[in-house]
């Protein structure tokens, strides 16, 4: 009994220490847990008894309970320190590992595949939630600027809404604004999950002196993105039901072919005439695939898990820490990958040009020169590959080349060269850039709608073909067996 009391007191000590010294609690709780586990094991050398088992269970809970306590304490903080961040990531990793273990335990060889689908849906939910939070933050900023209200007072008033998803980010932004930071810097520090393109727009708007206009334009873009995704999602609801049914049927077929058809193959080889011992080609193909999966199940499972973890690392470093002043190595790699990927590159190039046109238009309307506008645009880029072209364009303009000719030589696109053509009305460049912005926005929306509307039917056709193959491979041997057993076969 004394063992349980001692271990429980250690647990209470770690929970209380998490409030006063979070870093010490995070580092010492696993060590104390291991010591208590060793103590529980050493007290029962002849075999486990009730007290040692209870002490072992309590000792195993020391580190998880301390981490959960740190997570609960971090909810009240606008700027959590490193122990709270580490505790948050430990809980997330533990959550995903628990889900992976349960899926492998229940579905065995299909567990890693279902785990990958689960992670994909979870990431999509997080991105949707983050996009909604960003929309609320921009709406609060646009409302304050539109009505010429003090930012701190307006954002603090908007943060009082308990149901708003942007309550915590708004409080963080207000805290940094009151410390004397600029708006873009306050958003970067107070809202760490803010998308990088929003921060780029805010910093560029501050540099060119058109912050209100840039906030309104960015808010309009994000609102249109959310509305477009909502329309696309509503149009794809018709594909959701057959996709789910086809996926479930595919899993059932895979299970039957994995566990039932091999038994039938043994029956055929042992008790049927030689004429009927040969299986259909589709059945042989699926059986060979099943044997290969069973023989390499561990390697395939580890590969899927590692691929999911690598994808999570890339996603986290690209989006979670995507608001740093300088892009990370993962961001540069992702920019190159998106810039050259056959399908993705069209969307990425349109998006990069749209961002550049927005910043150029705001700078020129504020009365700045072309070289200054290009310098700001090249520094506040979204894609690294396009930023190098903007930098070459800026260097050519500084060296005395006409903006239109420099744009053609830099490879930023003929529409941008047309907007800066000297043969047109010189004062109409901002209006032409505004027209280009609307054109690029429409092209980006059309490309996304076309891509999303094409992927759904293709996935259904692919899964339907796989279900048809598995159904043929499963039922044709059963039909042959029924014919043989009933005497219908010669």
Note the pLDDT tens digit of each residue in 42-96: 776 666 666 777 777 888 888 888 888 888 887 766 666 778 888 888 888 888 8
Q: How many CA atoms lie within 13 A of 467 on its CB side?
A: 17
Q: Which residue has the tokens 């307006």?
A: 154
Asked whether residue 89 is domain-assigned, the answer is yes
Mean per-residue pLDDT, 349-361:
83
Lowest mean pLDDT among 7-11, 110-114, 119-123: 110-114
> Do 131 and 198 sit in the same domain of this protein?
yes
pLDDT value for 245: 66
pLDDT band at 270 (very low <50, low <70, confident <90, very high): low
> Do 62 and 105 sit in the same domain of this protein?
yes
Query: Distance of CA 44 to CAs 57, 250, 416, Å?
Result: 14, 50, 79
pLDDT > 60? residue 232: no
Q: How far apart are CA 282 and CA 301, in angstroms?
A: 25
> Do 156 and 68 sit in the same domain of this protein?
no
Q: How far apart are CA 110 and CA 157, in angstroms?
A: 50
Asked whether residue 353 is domain-assigned, the answer is no
Q: Report the greatest alpha carbon distance in the chain.
A: 96
pLDDT > 50? residue 276: no
Which one of 163, 191, 213 terminates a domain? 213
CA dihedral 101, 103, 108, 114 (to 10 degrees): -130
Which one of 156, 188, 213 terminates a domain? 213
> Do 64 and 151 sit in the same domain of this protein?
no
The region that residue 326 occupies, defined by phi over 0 for left and psi between -120 and 50 for alpha, beta otherwise, is beta
> Do 20 and 106 sit in the same domain of this protein?
yes
Asked whether residue 57 is domain-assigned, the answer is yes
Give the residue numbers spanning the domain of 155.
119-213
pLDDT value for 311: 66
> Do 11 and 104 sit in the same domain of this protein?
yes
> Do 92 and 147 sit in the same domain of this protein?
no
Q: CATH no. for residue 141?
A: 1.20.81.30
Are 445 and 224 in contact, with CB atoms under 8 Å apart?
A: yes
Tally of structural domains, the chain: 2
pLDDT tens profile 428-464: 787 888 888 888 888 877 787 777 777 767 777 777 7
Asked whether residue 289 is domain-assigned, the answer is no
Query: Distance of CA 458 to CAs 113, 121, 171, 237, 240, Å?
Result: 20, 19, 45, 15, 13
Percent of the chain topping pLDDT 70: 74
Of 18, 8, 14, 12, the closest CA to residue 29 belongs to 14
Asked whether residue 90 is domain-assigned, the answer is yes
> Do 125 and 197 sit in the same domain of this protein?
yes
Question: Any residues with CB less than 8 A from the CB of 325 and at least 6 apart, and which?
Answer: 188
Q: How far apart are CA 381 and CA 392, in angstroms?
A: 13
Are 52 and 41 in contact, with CB atoms under 8 Å apart?
A: yes
> Do 100 and 150 sit in the same domain of this protein?
no
Which one of 162, 181, 213 terminates a domain? 213
Q: How far apart are CA 432 and CA 115, in angstroms?
A: 49
Are 356 and 412 in contact, with CB atoms under 8 Å apart?
A: yes
pLDDT value for 273: 47
- CA dihedral sign of residues 221, 222, 228, 229: positive
Asked whether residue 38 is domain-assigned, the answer is yes
CA dihedral 81, 334, 96, 245 (to 10 degrees): 140
Q: How far apart are CA 270 and CA 298, in angstroms?
A: 31
- The most confident of 69-78, 214-223, 307-316, 346-355, by mean pLDDT: 346-355
Are 460 and 246 in contact, with CB atoms under 8 Å apart?
A: yes
> Do 8 and 107 sit in the same domain of this protein?
yes
pLDDT value for 260: 66
Q: How many helices (H) and strands (E) are present in the chain, helices listed first?
A: 22, 0
CA dihedral 272, 276, 278, 284 (to 10 degrees): -90
Mean per-residue pLDDT, 93-122:
78
Are 447 and 350 in contact, with CB atoms under 8 Å apart?
A: yes
Asked whether residue 246 is domain-assigned, the answer is no
Coil/strand/helix, residue 408: helix
Residue 289 burial class via C-beta count within 10 angstroms: exposed 0-12, middle 13-18, buried 19 and up: middle
Mean per-residue pLDDT, 331-335:
76
> Do 106 and 156 sit in the same domain of this protein?
no
Helix extents (H) in 366-410: 370-379, 384-398, 403-410
Query: Distance of CA 393 to CAs 197, 340, 411, 429, Å?
Result: 21, 21, 8, 17
Asked whether residue 426 is domain-assigned, the answer is no
Mean per-residue pLDDT, 356-377:
78
Residue 482 burial class via C-beta count within 10 angstroms: exposed 0-12, middle 13-18, buried 19 and up: exposed
pLDDT value for 269: 56
Q: Which pair of structure tokens corresponds to residue 105?
A: 């335990």
Q: How far apart are CA 322 and CA 331, in angstroms?
A: 8
Q: For 430-440, give one letter per residue: b (16+ CB within 10 A) or e.
A: bebbbebbeeb
Give the Cβ contact number of residue 475 at 10 Å.
14
Give the Cβ contact number of residue 130 at 10 Å.
16
């Amino acid at each position: 009994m004394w063992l349980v009391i001692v271990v429980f007191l250690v647990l209470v000590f770690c929970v209380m220490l998490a409030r006063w010294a979070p870093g010490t609690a995070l580092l010492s709780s696993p060590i104390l847990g291991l010591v208590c586990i060793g103590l529980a094991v050493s007290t029962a050398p002849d075999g486990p008894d009730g007290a040692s088992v209870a002490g072992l269970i309590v000792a195993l809970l020391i580190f998880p309970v301390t981490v959960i306590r740190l997570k609960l304490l971090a909810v009240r903080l606008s700027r959590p320190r490193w122990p709270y961040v580490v505790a948050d990531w430990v809980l997330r990793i533990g959550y995903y590992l628990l889900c992976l273990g349960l899926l492998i335990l229940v579905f065995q060889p299909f567990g890693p595949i279902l785990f990958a689908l689960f992670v994909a849906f979870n990431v999509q939910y997080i991105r949707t939630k983050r996009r909604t939070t960003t929309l609320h933050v921009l709406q609060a900023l646009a409302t304050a600027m539109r009505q010429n209200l003090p930012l701190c007072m307006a954002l603090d008033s908007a943060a009082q809404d308990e149901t708003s998803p942007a309550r915590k980010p708004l409080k963080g932004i207000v805290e940094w604004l009151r410390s004397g930071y600029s708006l873009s810097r306050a958003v970067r520090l107070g809202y760490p999950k803010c998308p990088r393109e929003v921060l780029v727009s805010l910093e560029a708007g501050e540099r060119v002196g058109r912050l209100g206009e840039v906030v309104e334009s960015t808010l309009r873009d994000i609102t249109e993105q959310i509305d477009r995704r909502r329309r696309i999602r509503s149009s794809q609801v018709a594909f959701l039901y057959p996709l789910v049914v086809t996926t479930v049927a595919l899993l059932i077929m895979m299970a039957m072919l994995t566990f039932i058809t091999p038994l039938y193959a043994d029956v055929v080889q042992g008790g049927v005439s030689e004429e009927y011992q040969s299986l259909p080609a589709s059945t042989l193909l699926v059986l060979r695939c099943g044997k290969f999966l069973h023989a390499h199940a561990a390697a395939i499972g580890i590969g899927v898990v590692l691929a999911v973890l690598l994808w999570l690392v890339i996603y986290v470093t690209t989006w979670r820490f995507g608001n740093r002043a300088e892009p990370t190595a993962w961001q540069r790699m992702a920019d190159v990958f998106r810039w050259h990927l056959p399908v993705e590159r069209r969307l990425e190039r349109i998006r990069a040009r749209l961002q550049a046109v927005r910043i150029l238009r705001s700078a020129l309307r504020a009365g700045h020169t072309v070289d200054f506008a290009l310098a700001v645009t090249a520094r506040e880029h979204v894609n690294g590959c396009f930023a190098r072209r903007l930098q070459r364009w800026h260097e050519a303009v500084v060296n005395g080349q006409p903006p239109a000719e420099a744009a053609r030589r830099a490879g930023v696109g003929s529409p941008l060269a047309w907007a800066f053509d000297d043969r047109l009305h010189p004062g109409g460049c901002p209006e032409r850039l505004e027209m280009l912005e609307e054109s690029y926005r429409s092209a980006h929306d059309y490309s996304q709608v076309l891509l999303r509307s094409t992927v759904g039917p293709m996935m259904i056709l692919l899964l339907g073909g796989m279900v048809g193959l598995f159904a043929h491979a499963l039922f044709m041997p059963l039909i042959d067996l029924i014919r043989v057993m009933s005497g219908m076969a010669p």
